């Protein structure tokens, strides 16, 4: 038995009155967020001004409690004065906005002090009416409505119809294998939706139907090529709607849109045209997500070990000729889904090192080519004469890493050429006039790749 958190998302079909109530709750969360942020900024500015007068830290204005509990306590003391209409919405809406502010302030402070890794988090900014609308519910009467599996219950709003059946979640709740922890209501791409955070208890995972290891080589021509010889076609969801999308975006460009420099507000026709274009993007996103979920679920159900590459998707998107095609595949989403699905199912996911030469290595003899152009779709080994499809050869090499990952002494083949192969120059290795360039300041000699750095485990 294992326990994990899982989200169940259902599209909502509210009545006009319910849609207005949902929008009011989102506005309440935004109001509480901006109110708390204004208090925090005022307090920080006051303390900074007092420091300029040479006051000691003990003599400064006391700092505000920026925890979620502290912000809610301050809101409860001031809500009758600052928001006399607060009773029109559930208290969960205001608590949601203050909790989001507390997390934003915590991330900013941790990033500022060096305690938070990754991209630097800036100071929170005020939210406008055009910001993404959402609020979170953690207490109160909410969940599924027992009649017909087509309704959910939300506090102060009541019974809201869903666009699809909720029986998948209802069955787990009836068996006692799931418990709803929270619900997040949001408005995305023109539709209201609710996402239930569920604590789910699952029995021991079933054994893989086929077993063994499989290498998965992602690409553009084919979405995935497996080491078993199977190829998964690329549906190219975005390419299918390009004609309609171009027309919709031209229609938006001809309307009077917003302009922050002049303060121009968008016209009603612009909003309608923008909504039509957004619906096309929504269709593409939903189709792509559904297709990737089916692929990753099948891989996890069929194989014990799955080997993929650590692809530099950001670098691939930087190529303007391939950016649209690469983004349409969703390579990063494939890895994200495989990571958590493999953990849930007790499978092993091996991620090959980014510079592992899966396409340049011959799967028969192990020889490594120094250079292989992207346009060369067939791999021809110059040592043993083997000829194979480029992607199929890469997938088989990835599958071979599963054994190397389980046996550290086995090692994996690494491409170690003397520098990156590049087009030769008549001027030698220096400047165009032949002068040897000086060594760059702070440069370090390049580290050779090792077998231990070839793969990393995600399980």
- The pLDDT value recorded for residue 416 is 37
Closest CA to 305 of 457, 450, 194, 438: 457
Q: Distance between CA atoms of 56 and 71, rounded to whole angstroms?
A: 26
Please state, in angstroms and rounded to a whole number, the distance separating the CA atoms of residues 191 and 140.
24
Nearest to 135 by CA among 89, 84, 104, 72: 89
pLDDT tens per residue across span 325-383: 999 999 999 999 999 999 999 999 999 988 888 888 888 888 888 888 888 888 888 88
How much is the average pLDDT of 168-176?
A: 93
> 338 vs 174, 345, 351, CA distance in Å?
28, 10, 11
- pLDDT, tens digit, for every residue of 140-149? 889 998 778 8
Q: What is the pLDDT of residues 75-91, one digit of tens each?
A: 999 999 999 999 999 99
pLDDT in tens, 374-399: 888 888 888 888 888 888 988 999 99
Bridge partners, 349 (sequence order) = 306, 458
DSSP 8-state secondary structure symbol assigned to residue 377 = -
Mind listing the pLDDT tens digit for each residue in 263-316?
A: 899 999 999 999 999 999 999 999 999 999 999 999 999 999 999 999 989 899
Write the CB contacts of 358 (distance below 8 Å, at least 6 apart in sequence): 215, 217, 309, 352, 393, 394, 395, 397, 398
Q: Decide if pLDDT at 239 tops 90.
A: yes
Written as six digits, the tokens of 46 are: 């006051």
Grade residue 409 by pLDDT with cuts at 50, 70 and 90. very low
Tell me which of 401 and 92 has the higher pLDDT.
92
**Residues 91, 86: Cα–Cα separation, whole Å:** 8
Q: What pLDDT does 447 receive? A: 44
**Nearest alpha-carbon partner for 169 in 138, 144, 202, 193:** 144
| Span 204-213, average pLDDT | 88
| pLDDT value, residue 406 | 62
Q: Are 283 and 190 in contact (CB under 8 A)?
A: no
In the predicted structure, residue 175 carries a pLDDT above the cut 50: yes
Contacts of 366 (CB under 8 A, 6+ apart): 413
Q: What is the mean pLDDT of residues 171-182?
A: 94
CB 327: neighbour CB atoms within 10 A? 15
Between CA 427 and CA 422 the distance in angstroms is 14
Q: What is the pLDDT of residue 417?
A: 37
408/452: higher pLDDT: 408
Confidence tier at 429 by pLDDT (50, 70, 90): very low
DSSP 162: B
Would you place residue 187 in the very low, low, confident or very high pLDDT band (cuts 50, 70, 90)? very high
pLDDT over 60 (residue 436) = no
pLDDT digits (tens, 9 = 90+) for 26-42: 999 999 999 999 999 99
Q: What's the length of the chain?
A: 459
Q: How far apart are CA 12 and CA 24, in angstroms?
A: 16
Residue 409 CB contacts under 8 Å (≥ 6 apart), including other chains = none
Q: How many CB atoms lie within 10 A of CB 59?
A: 10
How confident is the model over 181-197, as a mean pLDDT?
93
| Domain range summary for the chain, segments of one domain joined by + | 2-15+135-202, 21-129, 213-228+284-416+454-458
Active-site positions?
217, 309, 391
Average pLDDT, the chain: 86
pLDDT score of 155 more than 80: yes
């Amino acid at each position: 038995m294992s326990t994990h958190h899982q989200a169940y998302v259902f599209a909502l079909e509210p009545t006009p009155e319910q849609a207005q109530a949902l929008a009011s709750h989102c506005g309440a969360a935004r109001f509480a967020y901006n109110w708390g942020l204004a208090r925090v900024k005022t307090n920080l500015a006051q303390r900074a001004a007092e420091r300029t007068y040479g006051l000691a830290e003990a003599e400064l204005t006391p700092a505000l409690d920026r925890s979620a509990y502290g912000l809610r306590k301050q809101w409860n003391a001031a809500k009758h004065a600052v928001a006399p209409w607060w009773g029109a919405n559930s208290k969960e809406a205001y608590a949601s906005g203050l909790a989001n502010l507390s997390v934003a302030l915590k991330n900013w402070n941790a990033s500022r002090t060096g305690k938070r890794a990754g991209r630097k988090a800036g100071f929170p900014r005020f939210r406008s009416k055009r910001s993404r609308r959402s609020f979170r519910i953690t207490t109160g009467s909410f969940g599924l409505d027992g009649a017909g599996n087509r309704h959910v219950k939300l506090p102060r709003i009541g019974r809201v119809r869903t666009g699809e059946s909720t029986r998948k979640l209802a069955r787990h709740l009836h068996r006692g294998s799931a418990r709803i922890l929270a619900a997040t209501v949001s408005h995305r791409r023109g539709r209201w939706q609710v996402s239930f955070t569920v604590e789910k208890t699952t029995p021991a995972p079933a054994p893989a139907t086929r077993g063994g290891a499989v290498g998965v080589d992602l690409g553009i021509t084919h979405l995935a090529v497996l080491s078993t010889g199977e190829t998964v076609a690329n549906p190219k969801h975005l390419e299918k709607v390009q004609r309609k999308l171009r027309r919709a975006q031209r229609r938006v460009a001809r309307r009077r849109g917003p302009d922050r420099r002049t303060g121009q507000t968008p016209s009603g026709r612009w909003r309608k045209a923008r909504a039509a274009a957004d619906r096309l993007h929504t269709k593409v996103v939903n189709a792509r997500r559904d297709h990737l979920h089916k692929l990753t679920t099948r891989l996890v159900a069929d194989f014990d070990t799955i080997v993929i590459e650590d692809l530099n998707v950001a670098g691939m998107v930087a190529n303007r000729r391939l950016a649209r095609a690469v983004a349409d595949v969703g390579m990063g989403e494939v890895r994200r889904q495989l990571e958590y699905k493999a953990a849930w199912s007790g499978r092993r996911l091996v991620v090959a090192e980014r510079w592992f030469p899966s396409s340049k290595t011959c799967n028969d003899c192990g020889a490594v080519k120094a250079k292989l152009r992207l346009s060369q779709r067939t791999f021809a080994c110059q040592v043993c004469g083997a000829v194979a499809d480029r992607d199929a050869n890469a997938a088989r090499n990835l599958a071979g890493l599963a054994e190397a990952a389980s046996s550290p002494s086995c090692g994996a083949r690494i491409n170690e050429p003397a520098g990156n192969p590049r087009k030769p120059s008549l001027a030698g290795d220096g400047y165009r006039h032949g002068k040897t360039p000086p060594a760059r300041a702070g440069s370090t000699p390049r580290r050779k790749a090792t077998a231990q750095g070839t793969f990393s485990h995600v399980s």
